[in-house]
Amino acid sequence: MTLLNVADEARRGELVPSFPVSWYTDPEILEIERREIFAKTWQYLGTTESLTRTGDYLTVTVGDVPVVVTRSAEGINALVNVCRHRFHEVAQGSGNARRLACPYHAWSYDLEGNLCNAPRETRFENFDKSQFPLVKLPVAVWGQMVFVCLDQDVAPLQDWIGRLQDVLIDVGVDVTKLVHRKRTEMTIKGNWKVVAENFLECYHCAPAHPSYTKAFDVATSEGYPFEVNQDWMTARTLPRDVFKQEPDKAPYNMVGPVEVNQNDYLWPNFATWTFPGEGNLLVYSFTPVSPGETVAHFDYFLDPAMTDDAAEKLTEFVDEVGWEDVRLIESVQRGVVGNAVPTGVLVPDEGQVVAFQKLVRDAVARAGR
């Protein structure tokens, strides 16, 4: 296994202007992003843990759309949670049921969304119930993770996630063998693009992440090579040599089949970290709720053999880095909100941010802005 091969000259060059600062606060831009980006891409919803028995269901919102995810005898379904009668949300919260009954006029649907009953239906003329199912959405599972897309024509999940899966296997992480251990949810006071951009560069690591920089070789450009492949980006770094000779000095147990810290990003809002040591994958997803607010989820998937003590040390180490990032993101948002500095610049070590901004620019251009 080698580190990524990014030629040194690719890390020298001109500064690149960032997109206008107003894009971090403008509600019209967020509307465009919802339509052109989030409605067309796979969105990570959470784990299969509460969808193990037939009849289990949970409700979520994807973009502006209420969605209910169900486990039927055939598998997992994602259905638009909007009644075909007059638009009431059908399922509420989560639970287990044989049928989903709409609270408004009691039309009821099976777990695959087929309409089963409508009160007084014998009085309806030419009522063909098969014409009124809940709208089905593309849904797919990777390991224990459930993904849904609002676009019926989306390419299969495997086309999007397969490259990440391959590169993880290359570094010793088999997602299908990991088990969900912990979830942290937080609302970050920052635009989702500030969150993505913060993930997509390590130029800030040395000044802003002291423990991480002590553990990994990230204080120079050479220590953090990355690759940009359209909508998938990947970066790797190695732990400092001292932990090989003295593993006890490591901030958590770095001994195991995984030898690198690898940070991957899949457009638009799904990212993963894996750290040296026992099998682990930290999944970081972030979804805009308003121009200035983003809901982030951190899901830890760990080797089931990892002890609670080892898991706690790893999660403490990663959480510290995560909270440092939240403070950075929120400070950036305070910096952009007044539009006082109209544009920023991106340096060569921020090549992944340049690529990310191009994807955003392309989406905004598609909307004619």
Q: Pick one of 325, 332, 346, 363: the residue that binds Fe ion (CB under 5 A).
A: 325
Evaluate the omega torsion of the peptide bond into residue 291 and state whether it is cis, within 30 degrees of 0.
no
Judged by CB, which is closer to Fe ion: 98, or 327?
327
Q: What is the smallest separation between the CB atom of 74 and ligand FES, expressed in angstroms?
A: 24
Judged by CB, which is closer to Fe ion: 23, or 273?
273
Judged by CB, which is closer to ligand FES: 134, or 148?
134
Residues 219/240, Cβ–Cβ less than 8 Å = no
Other C-beta atoms within 10 Å of 337: how many? 16
Closest CA to 62 of 79, 84, 85: 79
- Among ligand FES, Fe ion, none, the one that 85 touches (CB under a kind-dependent 5 to 8 A) is ligand FES
- Among ligand FES, Fe ion, none, the one that 325 touches (CB under a kind-dependent 5 to 8 A) is Fe ion
Judged by CB, which is closer to Fe ion: 137, or 196?
196
Q: What is the smallest separation between the CB atom of 152 and ligand FES, expressed in angstroms?
A: 23
Closest CA to 46 of 166, 145, 184, 171: 145
- Among Fe ion, ligand FES, none, the one that 178 touches (CB under a kind-dependent 5 to 8 A) is none
Q: Which residues pair with 75 in a beta bridge?
A: 72
- Among ligand FES, Fe ion, none, the one that 104 touches (CB under a kind-dependent 5 to 8 A) is ligand FES
Judged by CB, which is closer to ligand FES: 99, or 105?
105
**Span near Fe ion by CB under 5 A; candidates 10-18, 29-37, 224-232, 318-326:** 318-326
SS3 189: coil
Give the separation between CA 348 and CA 345, rounded to whole angstroms. Answer: 10
Joined together, the tokens standing for residue 33 give: 């992003």
Closest CA to 257 of 346, 341, 177: 177
Which residues, 110 to 139, sit near Fe ion by CB under 5 A? none
Residues 150/62, Cβ–Cβ less than 8 Å = yes
DSSP secondary structure letter of residue 286: E
- Among Fe ion, ligand FES, none, the one that 107 touches (CB under a kind-dependent 5 to 8 A) is ligand FES
Closest CA to 76 of 40, 45, 117, 116: 45
Residue with tokens 């089963």: 116
- Among Fe ion, ligand FES, none, the one that 86 touches (CB under a kind-dependent 5 to 8 A) is ligand FES
**Span near Fe ion by CB under 5 A; candidates 15-23, 307-315, 317-325, 346-354:** 317-325
For residue 26, how many C-alpha atoms fall within 13 Å in the half-sphere facing its CB?
Answer: 12
Q: What is the smallest separation between the CB atom of 193 and Fe ion, expressed in angstroms?
A: 15
- Among Fe ion, ligand FES, none, the one that 240 touches (CB under a kind-dependent 5 to 8 A) is none
- Among Fe ion, ligand FES, none, the one that 353 touches (CB under a kind-dependent 5 to 8 A) is none
Q: Which residues contact 122 (CB under 8 A, 6 or more apart)?
A: none
Joined together, the tokens standing for residue 340 give: 């006082």
Q: What is the smallest separation between the CB atom of 157 and Fe ion, expressed in angstroms?
A: 27
Judged by CB, which is closer to ligand FES: 105, or 244?
105
Instruction: Give residues in contact with ligand FES (CB under 6 A).
Output: 83, 85-86, 88, 102, 104-107
Judged by CB, which is closer to Fe ion: 77, or 191?
191
Count interface residues toward Fe ion (CB under 5 A): 1
Give the separation between CA 71 and CA 278, rounded to whole angstroms. Answer: 31
Give the separation between CA 207 and CA 205, rounded to whole angstroms. Answer: 6
Give residue 84's identity as a one-letter amino acid code. Answer: R
Nearest-CB residue for Fe ion? 325
Closest CA to 1 of 170, 162, 165, 168: 170
Judged by CB, which is closer to ligand FES: 107, or 301?
107
Q: What is the smallest separation between the CB atom of 82 and ligand FES, expressed in angstroms?
A: 9
Judged by CB, which is closer to ligand FES: 102, or 266?
102
SS3 50: coil
Binding site for Fe ion (CB under 5 A): 325
